[in-house]
Amino acid sequence: MDRKKLLQEFFAEARKRELLGLATYGPFEPTKDTRILSIEMQEEAVDVLNYSRFLLRKHPHLREKTEGIKRLTFALYYELRKLEKVELELTRNQGGGN
């Protein structure tokens, strides 16, 4: 697998989804957005964990791969929890957020 090409595809897919969101929700306006985005990211990480469990149930022979995904997802979730604390503090200091 060509990692450079895969990285380009990854960012191209992210851009495509961003444009779909733009068409649906309009432009992102940081000063008006009240979401805690690190929590949104944590929810997405939990979705990845659940999808990996579903994949394992569907294809039990992929246990080693799905276990690796679970470990990576937990590492991401752990970092996002730390980021949440920082984001909440920034939000408090700015007088906004949920």
Q: What is the pLDDT along the chain (98 residues), one digit of tens a residue?
A: 899 999 999 999 999 999 999 999 999 999 999 999 999 999 999 999 999 999 999 999 999 999 999 999 999 999 999 999 999 999 999 875 55
Domain chopping of the chain, boundaries: 1-31, 34-98
CA neighbor of 91 nearest in space, from 34, 32, 27: 34
DSSP 52-90: HHHHHHH-GGGHHHHHHHHHHHHHHHHHHHHHHHHHHHH
Q: How many Å apart are CA 49 and CA 67, to the nearest integer?
A: 10
Q: What distance lies between CA 4 and its chain's CA centroid?
A: 21
